[in-house]
């Protein structure tokens, strides 16, 4: 069964092929070369559905998409859907991370809870739409650690870990991440679509 991933990110395509390849036999996941729509939803689920609808409409194929970010407890869940542009337009991942670190400067260690959140969506042209959520709990470290991953990974320490997400090997991160949790929750929908 051929499904399009509404993303031009080759790393995400590889990651989702690894994650879904284990649980959805016969899935052929292909990349999307479109520019993508404006993500103006107010939740992770809404943004994931916007992207999946656009890809399904343009390609005529079932489409999957995700939207993710980091939610910090003491900030009322922010940056949330604004994670990628927290420091402002045109700012980098490093700028976003440093702004978040600065905002939490005086927050005690016991109040630095956070979670990575990922919503995964499936849209079938002329048919079913579904969105599910995966959450990866942890806390925000005071200092950056690790060279792997991207975004907020160097300051996110997963629950039960002493290492940051950026210090985990790719296979370790794949096994634990919010993206895995969301797409594993979506896998039964994909298996049903494939008739399995």
d(CA 45, CA 120): 7
DSSP assignment, residue 1?
A: -
Catalytic residues: 67
Q: Give, in order, the Cα–Cα distances in Å from 78 to each of 39, 81, 186.
A: 17, 8, 25
158: tokens are 């997963």
d(CA 49, CA 44): 9
């Amino acid at each position: 069964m051929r499904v399009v991933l509404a993303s031009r990110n080759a790393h995400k395509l590889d990651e989702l092929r690894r994650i879904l390849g284990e649980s959805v036999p016969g899935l052929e996941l292909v990349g999307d070369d479109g520019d993508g729509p404006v993500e103006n939803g107010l939740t992770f689920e809404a943004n994931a559905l916007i992207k999946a609808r656009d890809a399904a409409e343009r390609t005529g194929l079932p489409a999957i998409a995700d939207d993710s970010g980091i939610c910090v407890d003491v900030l009322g869940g922010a940056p949330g859907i604004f994670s990628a542009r927290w420091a402002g337009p045109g700012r980098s991942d490093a700028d976003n991370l440093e702004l978040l670190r600065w905002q939490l400067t005086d927050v005690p260690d016991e109040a630095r809870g956070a979670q990575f959140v990922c919503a995964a969506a499936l849209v079938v042209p002329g048919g079913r739409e579904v969105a599910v959520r995966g959450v990866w709990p942890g806390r925000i470290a005071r200092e950056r650690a690790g060279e792997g991953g991207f975004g907020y990974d160097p300051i996110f320490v997963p629950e039960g870990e002493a290492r940051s997400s950026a210090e985990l090997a790719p296979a370790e991160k794949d096994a634990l991440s919010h993206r895995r949790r969301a797409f594993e929750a979506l896998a039964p929908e994909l298996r049903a679509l494939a008739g399995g």
